[in-house]
A = this chain, B = another copy of it.
Amino acid sequence: MQAPLEAMVFDRLKSVTSQDVAHAAGVSQATVSRVFAKRGNVQPITAEQVRRVAGELGYRPNVMARAMRTSRTGTVGIVVSRLGNPLYPLMLQTLGPKMVDAGLRMVVWSVDESDETCAIDAIKERSVDGVLMMTATAESSALREVVKSGLPVVLINRVVDGLPLDQVESDNRAGGTCVAHYFAATGRRRIALIGGPQAPSTIRNRDLGFRDQLAALGAPLKKQLTAYVENFSYAAGFAAAMRLLELATPPDAIFCANDVLALGARDAARRRGVRVPEDLWLVGYDDIDMAAWDAFDLTTIRQPINEMCQIATDLLVARIGGSTKTPGKTVVPNDLIIRGSTGRHPFPALG
């Protein structure tokens, strides 16, 4: 039985120190420190005794003091923008337990692309041991700052070429290639693309793979069947698809640079009475939860989020631990998830 919350005693400001524990246990403060810093060098019997007393007193090492002494905070910062895209909350949720396993606290900086100051301040103040960036671009000032600071940093999801950093991405280019092949080999005639700003490497590479493969197949993407949006929102996808569907000869297949755009596109088709998949095929990218929802039933490319998060965590942990391995890019493969928006048509054999 737990005591009712209302009845709980406040022990505000009590703050038991290692000194207190030392007195109570009849050892020196240094010994208490050794026990909790897990530095070995303590007789098991003494350690046990200290731990017991500490437990009774409710002692917890003061992280600030420890951080000041060791200049290690035990915290990593995650820089992410646009939490509105469900992909990022998902990555955050995946990352959480992995960081806990690694013994690291995680602070999330949800930055506006235009205002990254809070992240930058924290980096300058060295209040984290390392940084994980999920939405970096070459223009990111937080990225500049963290590189300049020499703090361990790992890029996940988006990468930035030419930087001596650990980077983890999925093979977005192959994803684009795969969709182009899927469309072409299943007889799609008027293939369209809804792309976006080229700053994020993810978008750039999907775009590239898609275009190159279409060109290689002798049916390069037509200019009038290409729509570039300003931002990756549902509304932008909706508007872009509307434009494409209003053409005299509208597309019979659209590849969208990410799922959120594709959901918008799907609704544009719904609005215009264009049937999916009979009149129009639609493919997105990311496999966010909503892609599987009945209303959308969207064929898409799934990035192995769990694997990417694990790799990124391991890399960051190693780097914080002082690894001097030459940093490099890790590229993991991703899968085409076939659903109703392409009539569940199986992936055709290559060649």
Chain A positions within 8 Å of B, measured between CB atoms, are 2, 5-6, 8-13, 15, 60-65, 67-68, 71, 73, 83-84, 86, 88-90, 92-93, 96-97, 100, 105-108, 110, 112, 115, 117-118, 122, 124-127, 138, 143-144, 147-151, 160, 162-164, 234, 238, 263-264, 266-268, 270-271, 289-290, 293-296
* Chain B residues, CB < 8 A from A267: 293-295
- Contact among B64, B96, B289 with A64 in the assembled complex (CB-CB below 8 Å): B64
User: Could you list 28 examples of A-B contacts with CB < 8 Å?
Assistant: A2-B144, A5-B147, A5-B162, A8-B148, A10-B147, A10-B149, A12-B149, A15-B71, A15-B126, A62-B68, A63-B127, A64-B64, A64-B67, A64-B73, A64-B127, A83-B89, A83-B93, A84-B93, A86-B89, A97-B112, A100-B117, A105-B118, A105-B127, A107-B108, A234-B293, A263-B293, A266-B295, A295-B295
A2 vs B160: C-alpha distance when bound (angstroms): 16
- In the complex the two chains form, what is the Cα distance from A21 to B103 in whole Å? 35
A236–chain B nearest beta-carbon distance, Å: 13
Are A290 and B289 touching (Cβ within 8 A)?
A: no
Give the CA-CA distance A96 to B240 in the complex, in Å.
31
Q: Known: A100-B118, A127-B64, A267-B295. Is A289-B84 also a contact (CB below 8 A)?
A: yes
Max chain B CB contacts within 10 Å: which of A11, A88, A106, A293? Answer: A293
User: How near does chain B come to A243, taking the closest CB pair, in angstroms?
Assistant: 16
Q: How far is the CB of A38 from chain B (nearest CB, A)?
A: 16
Contacts of A163 in B (CB 8 A): 5-6
| A78 CB → nearest B CB, Å | 9
Enumerate chain B residues within 8 angstroms of A63, measured Cβ to Cβ: 125, 127
Q: A12-B150, A92-B110, A97-B112 are in contact. List 7 more A-B contacts (CB 8 A).
A: A2-B144, A62-B68, A96-B110, A97-B115, A105-B122, A108-B110, A295-B296
User: In the complex, which residues of chain B have a beta carbon less than 8 angstroms from the beta carbon of A151?
Assistant: 12
Instruction: Report the Cα distance A227→B184, complex, angstroms.
Output: 46
Q: Which residue of B lies closest to A163 (CB)?
A: B5
Residues of B within 8 A of A65 (CB): 68
Give the CA-CA distance A270 to B115 in the complex, in Å.
42
A263 / chain B contacts, CB cutoff of 8 Å: 293, 295
Residues of chain B contacted by A160 (CB below 8 angstroms): 5
Complexed CA–CA distance, A139 and B108 (Å): 26
Cβ–Cβ < 8 Å partners of A271 in chain B: 294
A133 → chain B closest CB, angstroms: 13
Bound together, the chains give a CA A149 to CA B11 distance in angstroms of 6
A126 to B93, CA, bound (A): 24
* Chain B residue with Cβ nearest A264: B293
Q: Specify the chain B residue showing the minimal Cβ separation from A151.
A: B12
A27 to B147, CA, bound (A): 32
Q: Which residues of B contact A6 (CB under 8 A)?
A: 162-164
Chain B residue nearest in CB terms to A141: B2
Inter-chain CA distance A263–B296, complex, in Å, is: 12
